[in-house]
Structure 1
Amino acid sequence: MRRTSARSRISRALAVATAVAAVAGLTAYQGVAAEPAARTLAAGSPEGYGAGTTGGAGGPTVTVTSADAFIDAAASDGPLQIQVNGTIQLDDMEKVTSNKTIVGTGTRGRITGGGLNVSKASNVIIQNLTFSGSDDDAINVQYSTRVWIDHNDISDAYDGACDVKRASDGVTVSWNHFHDQDKNALLGHSDDNGSEDRGKLHVSYHHNWFDATTQRNPRVRFGNPVHVYNNYYYNNSGYGVASTEEAGVLVEGNYFENVKDPYHLGEADSGPGSLVARNNQLVNSGSGQTGGSVSTPSYSYRLDPAANVKSIVTSGSGVGHV
């Protein structure tokens, strides 16, 4: 009954948004506000493997302030731009469908208690949100393509902070502040999932702040190449990057500070992949382990000098900096 009521409000809001798309104005319905379609919520555009992701651009905009409204907006059909204003308390992993932009308002957009499940979807943007205290993952991406996860603050998820797996492809994870997290960013579901994952799992991780996150920053299976560049690693007590099970990871232009094990091959029962490291800054950190060859990323990109990455990332990552 709770979900039916919210769905009715979303449907009414979207109908009004479509009707007034050519004029200025805002129509509110019990925590759901609909706006004209001309507005594009997401700031900037993705670099790396998620380039070209546009989310809900071209669709109407709704502003949500309740869990009911958010759940039904995220799972609705068609392009939609969802503006989160306030704290959304979730009880589970909630589905995000194709052609969605989900953006927090200022520093007020928060998701807690549960997380977002981007499953069997394409063209999704998640930006400028604070995630905390999920009883599962904060963000899970599976069987999905063209996903951009950008400028979020992510902490204290029971399982993974930001996991990408099960044949997903074309993903960029950028400018996020990860902290207070053990298992952080898994890439690749399991050692026996190669039949789905080979030739997929192309992900770019750039300008993220891995702030004392223990491990999996990321931990990679099968994806080749996976591009990890211009990130700031600080006090990671387990390890920074692990390349396993046929993966090929390029670790480039990062700043590692107080990280005894910045990168290595193999992890737990997973066999070694390949890892190439170049132009990294290692401050009070180990030398890392490399081996094998890695395919060249298929896109152009701008690389900041590693010596400048700490200041660039700490001043520009997370919520409120888009």
Structure 2
Amino acid sequence: MTLFILSVASVSTNIPHFGATPARAASTGGYATATGSSDTAVTVTTLAELQSAFNNGKHHIIIKGNIYGGPSLTTLTFASTSWNNVTIEGASGGGAVLQNIQLKFSGELLSAGTNIENIVIKNITFYGNITDLQNLSGTAIQPGGTGTNYLGLSFRRTSNVWVDHCTIYNTSDDLMSISKASDNVTVSYSHFYFTSSWMNMNPNPLWNWVGTYQDLASERLAMVIGANASDSYTYGGGKLHVTMHHNWFGPYMKGRPLMRGFVHLYNNYFDNSTTPSGTNSQGSSQQQYNANQIGSGSVIYSEGNYFYKTNQSNQIGLDSSGDAYSFYERNNTYNATTGTSAAGAAYPSTLPFPYSYTPDSAANVPNIVQTNAGPK
């Protein structure tokens, strides 16, 4: 195998930089300082117990075993500031699973400038049951439906969030989203991927996410940060500060994360080791179309990441061709990658991050991340 470091070039556009973020502790390795709940924990082992804990406003919930959300999917929506200071975590041992269940923190109905705050999600596996998803129909597979809006984790108008040691796979929208002026989020030591069974599903139904139909098997998307250009760091008021470190993206990924925020990526493993090719049962290409997508209004700092066999490892993907973005990188490893990848500008001498961190060498990232990412 040939290892090489991509040389950097100056690639950025003029972007307004907003006021300095208050100094933050380094406990999460990123922007979040979330501590979650200090309440006594309640342990749940069934869907009924989970729903009861939610309905009774329990702020510290421990998931034990595999909880199944049913064939029509279950979304728990945390939609008010009464849900500030929440911890939802898996029991130790790594066996906590939420199947067909989405946790959605959404402060969209709150007064302007108010977000849900201080959320910790850790040590849980989220995944969708392929057969159940294949069997959805009607409004569930139309825009805004339960299927087309099914993620593992969704954060809207939510601030100070730490997602740690989670695994998310086989959900029918993105695996995770951070949007609608959410801010100060750390995602660490988590695994995002799809299975070969998902990629090769047959029957492979056609769904309508945003006005056009496409096959379900091609919806293999990792994450979105910022819903659109107006919900971006630059055009949305300087929100969406996100740190992603020591995460494992892949295998069997089609594309993303799509980033419109102020995002610091370090020591992530982008894994396209399976290198899907050819077409699926609907005739759609199986090939990965990108790894990182640098979106409208974003400021991206990328360092010490390891890209393995990824296609178009860094792709500029703007909502409109004139939209602003900035992309900086250093010390990334690109091993056996394909396609055209954008090169970032050199890091500035003074870093803009309000936290301290010590990145690992990129050469060690695949081993560190594969050993440590996901529930424990």
Q: TM-score, normalised by structure 1?
A: 0.78
- Indicate conservation of the 8 Å contact 1:85/1:108, yes or no: yes
Among all aligned residue pairs of Structure 1 and Structure 2, give the percentage whose two residues are the same amino acid. Answer: 32
Q: 1:301 to 1:314 in 2, by over 3 A?
A: same
Q: How does 1:29-178 map to 2 (within 5 A)?
A: 45-50=27-32, 52-56=33-37, 58-74=38-54, 76-77=56-57, 80-90=59-69, 91-96=73-78, 97-105=83-91, 106-120=93-107, 121-133=116-128, 135=147, 136-178=150-192
Displacement of 1:75:
5.5
What is the CA-CA distance between 1:297 and the residue it aligns to? 1.9
**What residue number does 1:36 align with?**
none
- SS of structure 1 residue aligned to 2:185: strand
Report deviation, 1:188. 0.2
- 2: CA distance between counterparts of 1:159 and 1:283? 29
Structure with greater proportional strand content = 1
Asked whether the equivalents of residues 74 and 95 of structure 1 are also in contact (C-alpha less than 8 Å), the reply is no
Contact 1:239 1:263 (8 Å CA) reproduced: yes
Higher relative contact order (CA 8 A, sep 6+): 2
Task: Find 1:215's aligned residue among 250, 255, 272.
Answer: 255
CA–CA separation in structure 1 for the residues paired with 2:235 and 2:97:
33
The offset of 1:164, in angstroms, is: 0.3
The 5 A counterparts of 1:252-267 are 252-267=303-318
- Preserved CA contact (<8 Å) 1:132 1:138: yes
The answer for the alignment partner of 2:226 in structure 1 is 188
Query: Residue 111 of structure 1: CA displacement?
Result: 0.5
Partners of 1:272 and 1:265 lie apart in 2 by 11
Contact 1:264–1:290 (CA under 8 A) maintained in structure 2: no
Asked if 1:305 is matched to 2:286, the reply is no
Contact 1:265 1:290 in 2 (8 A): no
| Contact 2:267–2:303 (CA under 8 A) maintained in structure 1 | yes
Amino acid across the alignment from 2:48: D
2:243 corresponds in structure 1 to 204
Aligned residues: 271
State the shift of 1:208 in Å.
0.4
Cα shift at 1:69: 2.1
SS of residue paired to 2:363: helix
Gaps of 5+ in 1: 1-43
> What secondary structure is seen at the aligned counterpart in 1 of 2:105?
strand
- Which of 272, 275, 296 is residue 245 of structure 1 equivalent to? 296
1:192 shift after superposition? 3.5
In structure 1, C-alpha distance between the alignment counterparts of 2:169 and 2:221, rounded to whole Å: 10
Supply the AA of the counterpart residue of 1:111: L
Pick which of 272-281 and 145-154 moved more: 272-281
Q: Which amino acid aligns with 2:370?
A: T
Q: Is the 8 A contact 2:177 2:224 kept in 1?
A: yes
Gaps in structure 2 of 5+ consecutive residues: 1-25, 108-115, 130-146, 195-218, 276-287
Asked if the contact 2:228–2:319 (Cα under 8 Å) also holds between the matched residues in 1, the reply is: no
Shift of 1:89: 2.0
Q: By how many angstroms is 1:94 displaced? A: 0.7
State the distance in 1 between where 2:97 and 2:45 align.
10
Q: Distance in 2 between matches of 1:291 and 1:257?
A: 18
In the TM superposition, what is the alpha-carbon distance from 1:266 to its structure 2 partner? 2.2
- Residues 99 and 196 (structure 1), Cα distance of their counterparts in 2 relative to 1, 3 Å cut: farther
> Whole-Å Cα distance in 1 between the matches of residues 259 and 236 of structure 2?
11
8 Å Cα contact 2:30-2:355 kept in structure 1: yes
Which of 281, 284, 291 aligns to 2:333? It is 281
Q: Which moved more, 1:132-141 or 1:182-191?
A: 132-141
Provide Cα deviations, 1:83-113, integer angstroms capped at 9, x if missing partner: 1112222233212432111111222211011
Provide the alpha-carbon RMSD of the alignment.
Answer: 2.3
**Which range moved further: 286-295 or 62-71?**
286-295
